[in-house]
């Protein structure tokens, strides 16, 4: 997914997407077996391109009864050219006969500045796979991932989703760790 360079570290983190702000292509091959290893690889590659502190992530959908599948392959399990709709329909079909459709969305963010040990933030939200897509907001598997409140991610208003997503939780977790590191709290 995205990688960012931090331009300003005071109070709120100021993050800029590399592709937009800097014109840097950042298509790092996600070839590791964990979200953490993929995010760390991306952060280090971006750091080596920019020589600036950066944050990179990896995330995906993990279905409990399928031993965490598709996991790190969430975006690629049907191939690079599959659409969100094709992936969602495939996931629904794969889960239709499961007795337990519990799933998690996992996001790992890695801060890397080339000087110190990487700082890692993790966010996880729990829910389940639904039998048919619901909602018009979001992207990816949002229409088929139902939260414990009974709504899919795609049924949430964007501002609400932005506060409760796995990425938001990972960012909050990372921010706390950065505050401790930067301000010696």
Residues designated as active site = 58
Decide: 118 and 66 in contact? Cβ < 8 Å: no
Tokens standing for 47? Answer: 């750091």
Given the structure tokens 């629904």, which residue do they identify?
92
Which of 71, 104, 103, 77 shows the shortest CA–CA distance to 90? 77
Q: How far apart are CA 46 and CA 44, in angstroms?
A: 5
CA 89 to CA 128: how far, in whole Å? 15
Q: Which two tokens stand for residue 73?
A: 């392959």
Per-residue DSSP letter, 34: S
Q: Of 164, 141, 171, which is closest to residue 154 (Cα–Cα)?
A: 141
| Residue 185: C-alpha distances to residues 11, 14, 151 (Å) | 14, 21, 37
- Omega before 70 within 30 of 0, i.e. cis: yes
């Amino acid at each position: 997914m995205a990688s960012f360079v931090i331009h300003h570290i005071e109070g709120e983190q100021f993050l800029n997407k590399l592709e937009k702000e800097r014109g840097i292509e950042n298509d790092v091959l996600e070839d590791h077996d964990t979200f953490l290893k993929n995010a760390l690889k991306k952060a280090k590659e971006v750091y080596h391109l920019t020589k600036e502190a950066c944050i990179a992530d990896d995330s995906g959908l993990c279905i409990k009864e399928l031993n965490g599948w598709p996991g790190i392959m969430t975006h690629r399990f049907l191939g690079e050219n599959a659409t969100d709709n094709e992936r969602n329909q495939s996931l629904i079909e794969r889960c239709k006969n499961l007795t337990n459709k519990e799933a998690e969305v996992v996001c790992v963010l890695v801060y890397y500045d080339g000087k110190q040990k990487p700082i890692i933030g993790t966010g996880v939200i729990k829910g389940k796979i639904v039998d048919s897509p619901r909602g018009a907001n979001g992207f990816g598997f949002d229409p088929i991932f139902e939260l414990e409140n009974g709504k899919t991610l795609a049924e949430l208003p964007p501002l609400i989703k932005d506060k409760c997503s796995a990425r938001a939780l990972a960012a909050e977790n990372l921010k706390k760790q950065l505050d401790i590191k930067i301000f010696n709290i």
